[in-house]
């Protein structure tokens, strides 16, 4: 047998060669760590389906964020659980609402931290939908105004970037206009441009107490069967002024991440969602997989597919692992 001239194994013979030719690398600076904020003081609650991820009262946030910064994770995204909910999600844009208070606290204590906010109504509505309900349907256009007010209230509290996750049509333009009219031209919008109606959000809905009380989100979130529609959604958001495009969930939608990377020149973010995290944690707990390696492999796959930025509950754990490898 005559071997060909080129033998790929030459460059795999030891760790030094392997790291020399690595095409894809993970770095903590490109992770965004989600923080769940709850009312009260000195409250730290574990989320049963998301081991290791806490829900924290505002006074405990800075310590958690400081840990992130020490690990090189410079960005967090905030989700709030308000004291009270109502039909139109007024808590989402209250001046002293849970998120507005959390932003002020974090930016006061840790000015170097990049504070991103999720802009959506589902945590603030008593019916759990992402918009307001008129005639038993989520009313797109009535919701836009509330979303813009919410995003503006986050910017006024000091948020560095807003991330609308509601999937109402036209919300990026509405938010951009509201920000610009109030001198927040420099606050970017990271749009959840492509968000699928996914069962992988299960644990999050428990964590953020935002499961819809009737129906589902398929009327506004995308059908997992569609990929061309993802390009249409993303094109609209780009035209409306989005600065970063996000795909969510991540692992089951790597093809979508790759397509967006090819088609657009904006930074692409991917959200490795609660269900993805929970599956890895649960299987690892049972000893069925090596949790650390599966974590690293799945994050690497998301990056390899083309994500510049990864929102992940593993941010701290992965950063620690990367640091250990130094
Ligand atoms: C709010 C929102 C959701 C998630 C992020 N923002 C829930 C949903 O759309 O049902 C899910 C994140 C996760 O599962 O980790 N609309």
Kindly list the structural domains of the chain, giving each domain's residue range(s) and its CATH number in brackets, ordered by start: 27-246 (3.20.20.70)
User: Pick from 301, 258, 257: which is nearest to 280 by CA?
Assistant: 301
Q: Catalytic residue among 85, 107, 149, 195, which?
A: 195
Residues 49 and 313 sit within 8 Å (Cβ to Cβ): no
Q: pTM for this structure?
A: 0.96
- Token pair recorded at residue 137: 């349907």
Atom of ligand 1 nearest to the CA of 275: 14
Cα of 258 from ligand 1 centre, angstroms: 22
Cα of 203 from ligand 1 centre, angstroms: 9
Nearest CA to ligand 1 atom 11: 201
Cα of 36 from ligand 1 centre, angstroms: 12
- DSSP-derived pairing of the beta strands 309-312 and 190-195: unpaired
- DSSP-derived pairing of the beta strands 54-57 and 161-164: unpaired
Atom of ligand 1 nearest to the CA of 313: 15
Q: What is the pLDDT along the chain (326 residues), one digit of tens a residue?
A: 666 788 889 999 999 999 999 999 999 999 999 999 999 999 999 999 999 999 999 999 999 999 999 999 999 999 999 999 999 999 999 999 999 999 999 999 999 999 999 999 999 999 999 888 888 888 899 999 999 999 999 999 999 999 999 989 999 999 999 999 999 999 999 999 999 999 999 999 988 888 898 888 888 999 999 999 999 999 999 999 999 999 999 999 999 999 999 999 999 999 999 999 999 999 999 999 999 999 999 999 999 999 999 999 999 999 999 998 64
- DSSP-derived pairing of the beta strands 54-57 and 44-46: antiparallel
């Amino acid at each position: 047998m005559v071997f060909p001239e080129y033998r790929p194994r030459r460059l795999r013979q030891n760790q030094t060669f392997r790291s020399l030719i690595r095409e894809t690398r993970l770095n903590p600076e490109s992770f965004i760590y989600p923080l769940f904020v709850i009312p009260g003081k000195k409250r730290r609650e574990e989320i049963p389906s998301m081991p290791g991820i806490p829900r924290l009262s505002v006074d405990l946030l800075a310590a958690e964020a400081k840990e992130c910064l020490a690990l090189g994770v410079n960005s967090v995204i905030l989700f709030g659980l308000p004291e009270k909910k109502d039909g139109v999600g007024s808590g989402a844009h209250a001046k002293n609402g849970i998120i507005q208070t959390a932003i002020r606290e974090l930016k006061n204590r840790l000015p170097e931290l990049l504070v991103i906010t999720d802009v959506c109504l589902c945590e603030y509505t008593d019916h759990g939908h992402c918009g307001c309900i008129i005639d038993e349907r989520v009313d797109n256009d009535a919701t836009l105004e509330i979303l813009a007010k919410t995003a503006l209230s986050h910017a006024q509290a000091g948020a560095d970037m807003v991330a609308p996750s509601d999937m109402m049509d036209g919300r990026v333009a509405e938010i951009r206009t509201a920000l610009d009219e109030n001198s927040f031209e420099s606050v970017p919008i990271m749009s959840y441009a492509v968000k699928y109606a996914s069962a992988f959000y299960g644990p999050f809905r428990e964590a953020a107490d935002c499961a819809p009380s009737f129906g589902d989100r398929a009327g506004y979130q995308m059908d997992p069967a569609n990929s061309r529609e993802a390009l249409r959604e993303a094109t609209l958001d780009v035209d409306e002024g989005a600065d970063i495009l996000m795909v969510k969930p991540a692992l089951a939608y790597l093809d979508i991440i790759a397509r967006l990377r090819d088609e657009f020149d904006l930074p692409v973010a991917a959200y490795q969602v609660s269900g993805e995290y929970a599956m890895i944690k649960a299987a690892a707990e049972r000893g069925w997989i090596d949790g650390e390696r599966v974590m690293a492999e799945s994050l690497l796959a998301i990056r390899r597919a083309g994500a510049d930025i990864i929102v992940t509950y593993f941010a701290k754990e992965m950063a620690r692992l990367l640091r250990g490898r130094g």
